[in-house]
Amino acid sequence: MARLLLFLTFCLFFVFKVNGQENLPFSQDWTNPALITMDDDWSNVAGIIGYRGDGLTGSIGTDPQTILADGTTTPVDIIANQGTTTGISTGGIIELDGLGDPTVAFQGSGTADAPFLLISVNTTNFTAITVQYNLRELDTDNSTQQVALHYRVGNSGNFTNVAGGYVADASNGSGQVTPINVVLPAGAENQSEVQIRILTTNASGVDSLIGIDDISVTGTPPPPPPGVPTLSQWGLIILALFFMTLGTLYLIPEMKLKKS
């Protein structure tokens, strides 16, 4: 019985841990350098993939709010393990893990017409889906770097623009930081998969390098039904079971010793 209780306690802790990756709340701040170690490899990053966005627009300075096509057939992209922002001009998605505050950034170019990050989350039973992140200017190029926020339900078809997430220019040549805090439309609520896209476009001149940092996707969970323990109460229950199990494992040998 004691071993069964210990096993159940372990299982409950394990379930709470592994189920938190792409469920809400979801966050990514890029401080773990082990997430991205090779170019174009996002396999260790839960819920996020970067794409180069080739051919999503044929013009310079396109308003990213108007680019709503899928885009996931363009190359998966990440230039890994960059230690400095100096000399980066190829465009696409860049990991800057050598900075004092590491981040992943994007930069438009003649090839990377509309690079973007794609975030996939499960919003089942959640309402008021809130998307937050900081756009960090990482160089001094000071182009007019537009950034848009899109979402869609599922993983195919066109996206919907989220007007509140549009930034007309995320760079001013002196390290501008633009915080975004937007509640998605009601259509994003209670869905098994919602994809959120943060996208920029090729600007005139040398494009600014813009970090997408401190990403957070949260929502309002439903209240528990009457009589059902809350998550914090479950934590206390599990903790009690754990100590009861330890106590049982200790007492049984002691009782056997006394009897003998």
Per-residue pLDDT, 244 = 82
CA distance 194 to 184: 10
> What are the pLDDT digits (tens) for 87-111?
888 999 999 999 999 999 999 999 9
CA distance 162 to 176: 22
Is the distance from CB of 147 to CB of 235 less than 8 angstroms? no
164 has a pLDDT exceeding 70: yes
Pair type for strands 103-107 and 194-200: unpaired
Vertex 153: Cα angle to 150 and 154 (nearest 5): 115
User: What confidence tier does 50 reach under pLDDT thresholds 50, 70, 90?
Assistant: very high
> What are the pLDDT digits (tens) for 203-218?
999 999 999 999 999 9
Return the structure tokens found at 164: 């509140």
Q: Collapse the DSSP code of 213 into the 3-class scheme (helix H, G, I; strand E, B; otherwise coil) and give the result.
A: strand
CA distance 6 to 250: 13
Over residues 49-62, mean pLDDT: 97
- How is residue 164 annotated by DSSP? G
CA distance 153 to 254: 58
Identify the structural domains of the chain with CATH numbers, from first to last: 1-22+229-260 (no CATH), 25-220 (2.60.120.260)
Specify the pTM.
0.80
Give the number of other CB atoms < 10 A from CB of residue 39. 13
Q: How many CA atoms lie within 13 A of 185 on its CB side?
A: 12
Give the number of other CB atoms < 10 A from CB of residue 230. 11
Q: Measure the CA dihedral 230/233/237/239, to 10°.
A: 120
Give the number of other CB atoms < 10 A from CB of residue 146. 22
> What are the pLDDT digits (tens) for 73-83?
999 999 999 99
The residue assigned the tokens 């915080």 is 179
